[in-house]
Structure 1
Amino acid sequence: MAAGIGSGRGLLATMAVVVVCSGVVQGYLTPLLPGIGAHLGIGSVGQNNLYLLSQLAFAVLTPLLSRLGDLYGHRRVLRVSVSMVTGGSLLMAAWPATATLALGMSLQGAVVGFFPLLAGILRSRAPELGRTGMSVLVGALLVSIGAGGLVAGSLSEGHAVAGLWTAVPLSAAALTAALVLPEGSAARGGHFHFGAATLLTLGLVALVLVLAQGSAWGWASPASWGTAALALVLLAAWVAVEHRAAHPLVKVRLLRGSRLAVVNVHTFCLAFGAIGFLGANAVFLGTEPDEAGYGMGWGSRTIALVSLAMVALGCLGSTVTPRLAGRVGDRTMLALGGAVCAAGFLTMTATDGAPAPYLVGALLVGLATGIFEAVTRTLAAEVVAEDETALSVGLNELALSLGAAIGAAVIGALFAAHRAAPDGRLTLAAFRWSWTVCAGVALLGAAAGLAFRHGTAERGPAPAHPTGPAHPTGPSHPAGSPHPAGPARAEQPLARNGDAA
């Protein structure tokens, strides 16, 4: 195996630097939110809205960066993405304020492009590494997510905003690594559909905005109804444009496949709570119980330890899922992931957030995250024809990002609706409603999982216009999702036991 950067271990080691940056960026901010909020005067609702903004950036950038990588080359787009993350990290650390946090977290959303772009380079430059190479990168991602939060939390124990510097040296190292990485396969060429990108971006922003601000505006107000109608019109127009486009941004026709639709619905429902609630989790853990009557009153370092424990349980869940699926079947694993997630939120609800039960519930949510991400990543790659694998995975990544963003928006709306006058502090009812809604949506995901059936790979109808080379160069992988879909070819199903139609 070659020792240089162009292939083999050298290539993998260089990629690992970029992946470590990705993990740290995904894991270091959440435990800092309560302390930074208190330091800068950002309330609980504002803290959740910052987390919501990051999730919205992930949702918008997921299809954009994947498509740009296909058009202009994975290495070039990776360098742009790492530069955006580096700039955002430095901006927040050097000038911490509400506005710079909002802008910096939006720029950091470009981290969503790291994994799919690296996967494209790895597959073309060192195909002999296969899933072994991907496993190494996933391991680096998992470790860095937990370690990043712990380091940032420890730094912020002395000064609230000191932890913001955690990502700066790592993003600089990742930029250096991106500059020396070789190019992957040649750019496929084609045209970037700016009209479709604009419609999708504006539609997603309008949708998340009405969910986040509907309570403050009044759900029956003209502002809420008008924004909701605008979101529906924009997204409907986006779908219509994509169907007619010679070079679509996202091949939405793949959603006609019933099994892929089931996988995406399940992904959306589980991401809604398991990922969408992470910002609210930090807020709850950091709330002083003597002042609010609930919460833990923990500092950033202790909150980071909880996040690390959740990541560890998620890693365990993803590790055991393939073996369990071989015994009980994919449909059962989908339902199990939803049930475990719902059980975690119901535990929080039933005990009103008492410390020990709350932590048990949070760990169950972490376990469910590993289960659902492992099984959905695999199935999204298997339920379509081989030449549409990465496109299918990209739609699944979009479902995850949307689920997380909309989940955070709904939680933000519930927070805004349950504040105690006159100080505006959140009441326990705000969290109780949030946990209950997340549990209900997780149960819907479990029900969707029971509708999954195995069968032959589905191919959507041929597009009306030629769309360029059919075989994709790499799967998409969103921020916060540690499990890739694997190679671009369709693998054998994760399991078939008990999944007959």
Structure 2
Amino acid sequence: MPIRTSGTGRGAGTLSSGPGMVATMAVVILFSGIVQGYLTPLLPEVGLRLHIGTVGQNNIYLLSQVAFAVMTPLLSRLGDLYGHRKLLRVALAMVASGSLLIAVHPSAVTLAVGVVLQGALVGFFPLLVGILRSRAPERNRSGISLLVGVLLIAIGVGGLVAGALSDRHAESGLWTAVPVAVLAVVAGMALPDSDAPRGGRFHYGAAVLLTAGLVALVLVLAQGSAWGWAAPRTIALAITAVAVLTVWVTVERRSAHPLVSVRMLSNPRLAVVSAYTFCAAFGTIGFLGANALFLGASRSATGYGMDLGPQAIATISLAMVTAGFAGSTSTPRLTRWLGDRAVLASGGGLVALGFLGMALFHDTLPQYVACALVVGLATGLFESITRTLSAEAVAEQETAIAVGLNELALSLGAAIGAAVIGAFFAAHSVPGTALISESGYLWGWGACAVTAVTGTALALRYRSPRAPRPACRLPLEQSGELA
């Protein structure tokens, strides 16, 4: 394995390129997946033991969503400015500290602080891709596809391990991420920095505006169904979000050192990929909570559902992410055979097919699981190809922020998808009960399928960059190359 012993900003003993570097990155992404997968299934039981009510648990979830939205562009931009490795180590330290804090002294306060610190994991992927594209561009596509696959598997495994640890004592599951955190911090110390050109200054005013706008937007999406979409505070906050983000765009246009270049936002390839990501995440990630509800619903009480327990639901979720791993790792080969646009469109088509199948064939467990596996396969495809294409759509020094924008589109798509599905559930609840009628799921599956079809149409508008023409070269005898 190559070792770099010199170079600006790099000490001896850092991995410089090749399979060893990608494997080390996979350890970091493994940590990200475990953190994303382990806390959610534990929160109801842990909340009960710590006397945190449903509202408090929802607020903890809300804090994590706000942290994801705010930290995605900030960590990505800081990485492009000051070094991807430096910011990766900062992000790793934050996530590891949050995980340890939650495990050592669980309480309402430490859970809230911990999930905010864990929000820095959204910087892992953009920063790692910045290093990968600079150090091993020939492995960019295969490396990203492997990292996406590891991420999906780790999310599923994180929930299963946490569940097993918490069988006798719920708070024991909170230690799930700590051993992996140690490995990830060591991996972050071993990785090299990128060679991407750096320069410019961090625009603090733009950062404040962007943060305020994203916080307002996430609050509307997360709380709109609880407050009421027509409630005055929901409307006021939505207007505030639009107004602040509009001011942010104006400030960025006039800035000599913008936080996020508006030119990047108008990049047609990046715009198409980000919009497609939004549409694909709307259903594949936005429906995850509803998927667990359907699998666990009692058929005798509701007339639908699979009567499954937590362990069986976790097993099906693991099967879905395993299908996602297969889709992700096959993406580089598929793009060589079919081309980028065809793989983009295929991913969207598979998402639509899976949700249409759920709407039509959800009476038996094998039928439903088959459709869920199609959605899982499509998830791996779209998460791999969109991260790859967003990185390749911009200059090397803007890699992390471009991938970060794609991550933000994914988060917003998932949040809006969950909000829309929640609104359908609220509109189709059984009067006088807390149950949801089957029509609520039908509307939800239909919305996911229609949005995926929209994403497929966007994918067909994607245009790969033209390969540069080979330079006209003189005969070897005339150019002096023969000698």
- TM-score when normalising by structure 2: 0.80
Task: Tell me: CA distance 1:102–1:277, structure 2 relative to 1, closer, same or farther (3 Å).
Answer: farther
Aligned partners of 2:382, 2:25: CA distance in 1, in Å? 26
For residue 327 of structure 2, what is the aligned residue in structure 1?
317
CA displacement at 1:156 relative to structure 2: 3.1
CA displacement at 1:167 relative to structure 2: 0.7
Of stretches 56-65 and 114-123 in structure 1, the one that deviates more from structure 2 is 114-123
Structure 2 residue 7 is matched with structure 1 residue 7: no
Aligned partners of 1:38, 1:436: CA distance in 2, in Å? 35
Aligned partners of 1:423, 1:98: CA distance in 2, in Å? 30
User: Helix, strand or coil for the counterpart of 1:90?
Assistant: helix
For residue 477 of structure 1, what is the aligned residue in structure 2?
none
Structure 2 residue 257 is matched with structure 1 residue 241: no
Aligned partners of 2:260, 2:28: CA distance in 1, in Å? 26
Task: Tell me: CA distance 1:135–1:378, structure 2 relative to 1, closer, same or farther (3 Å).
Answer: closer
Find 1:355's aligned residue among 352, 356, 365: 365
CA displacement at 1:223 relative to structure 2: 1.8
CA displacement at 1:399 relative to structure 2: 1.8
Task: Tell me: CA distance 1:2–1:317, structure 2 relative to 1, closer, same or farther (3 Å).
Answer: closer
Find 1:156's aligned residue among 140, 145, 166: 166
Q: Deviations over 1:423-443 (max 9, x none)?
A: 645554544433332222112
For residue 116 of structure 1, what is the aligned residue in structure 2?
126
Task: Tell me: CA distance 1:171–1:320, structure 2 relative to 1, closer, same or farther (3 Å).
Answer: closer
Report if the CA contact (8 A) 1:6-1:125 is conserved: no
Q: Deviations over 1:452-492 (max 9, x none)?
A: 2345499xxxxxxxxxxxxxxxxxxxxxxxxxxxxxxxxxx
Report if the CA contact (8 A) 2:126-2:401 is conserved: no
Structure 2 residue 205 is matched with structure 1 residue 195: yes
Aligned length: 458
* Letter in structure 2 aligned against 1:86: A
CA displacement at 1:341 relative to structure 2: 0.8
The 5 A counterparts of 1:102-501 are: 102-121=112-131, 140-179=150-189, 184-185=194-195, 188-287=198-297, 289=299, 294-351=304-361, 354-384=364-394, 390-417=400-427, 419=429, 424-456=434-466
Q: Deviations over 1:290-326 (max 9, x none)?
A: 5655544544433332222111111222233344444
Aligned partners of 2:399, 2:82: CA distance in 1, in Å? 20
Task: Tell me: CA distance 1:343–1:276, structure 2 relative to 1, closer, same or farther (3 Å).
Answer: same
User: Helix, strand or coil for the counterpart of 1:452?
Assistant: coil
Of stretches 221-230 and 11-20 in structure 1, the one that deviates more from structure 2 is 11-20
Report if the CA contact (8 A) 2:95-2:118 is conserved: yes
Structure 2 residue 31 is matched with structure 1 residue 21: yes
CA displacement at 1:110 relative to structure 2: 0.8
Task: Tell me: CA distance 1:158–1:266, structure 2 relative to 1, closer, same or farther (3 Å).
Answer: same
C-alpha RMSD of matched pairs (Å): 3.7
Report if the CA contact (8 A) 1:72-1:187 is conserved: no
Report if the CA contact (8 A) 1:48-1:280 is conserved: no
CA displacement at 1:247 relative to structure 2: 1.7
* Letter in structure 1 aligned against 2:277: T
Task: Tell me: CA distance 1:105–1:453, structure 2 relative to 1, closer, same or farther (3 Å).
Answer: same
Q: Which has the higher contact order (CA 8 A, sep 6+)?
A: 1
CA displacement at 1:361 relative to structure 2: 2.4
Aligned-residue identity in percent: 60
Report if the CA contact (8 A) 2:149-2:329 is conserved: no
User: Helix, strand or coil for the counterpart of 1:28?
Assistant: helix
User: Helix, strand or coil for the counterpart of 1:202?
Assistant: helix
Unaligned runs of 5+ in 2: 4-11, 469-483
Task: Tell me: CA distance 1:14–1:346, structure 2 relative to 1, closer, same or farther (3 Å).
Answer: closer
Task: Tell me: CA distance 1:384–1:90, structure 2 relative to 1, closer, same or farther (3 Å).
Answer: closer
Aligned partners of 1:321, 1:140: CA distance in 2, in Å? 14
CA displacement at 1:215 relative to structure 2: 3.4
Q: Deviations over 1:248-291 (max 9, x none)?
A: 11113223233332222111100111122223333444455556
Report if the CA contact (8 A) 1:60-1:201 is conserved: yes
Of stretches 180-189 and 67-76 in structure 1, the one that deviates more from structure 2 is 180-189
Aligned partners of 1:101, 1:297: CA distance in 2, in Å? 31
User: Helix, strand or coil for the counterpart of 1:211?
Assistant: helix
CA displacement at 1:416 relative to structure 2: 4.9
Aligned partners of 1:394, 1:263: CA distance in 2, in Å? 12
Task: Tell me: CA distance 1:228–1:85, structure 2 relative to 1, closer, same or farther (3 Å).
Answer: same
Report if the CA contact (8 A) 1:377-1:393 is conserved: yes
User: Helix, strand or coil for the counterpart of 2:14?
Assistant: coil
Report if the CA contact (8 A) 1:157-1:300 is conserved: no
Aligned partners of 1:418, 1:253: CA distance in 2, in Å? 43
Q: Deviations over 1:22-69 (max 9, x none)?
A: 221123334445655776788989877765653443232111101122
Q: Deviations over 1:163-215 (max 9, x none)?
A: 22211222233234445656555993532222222222221222232233333
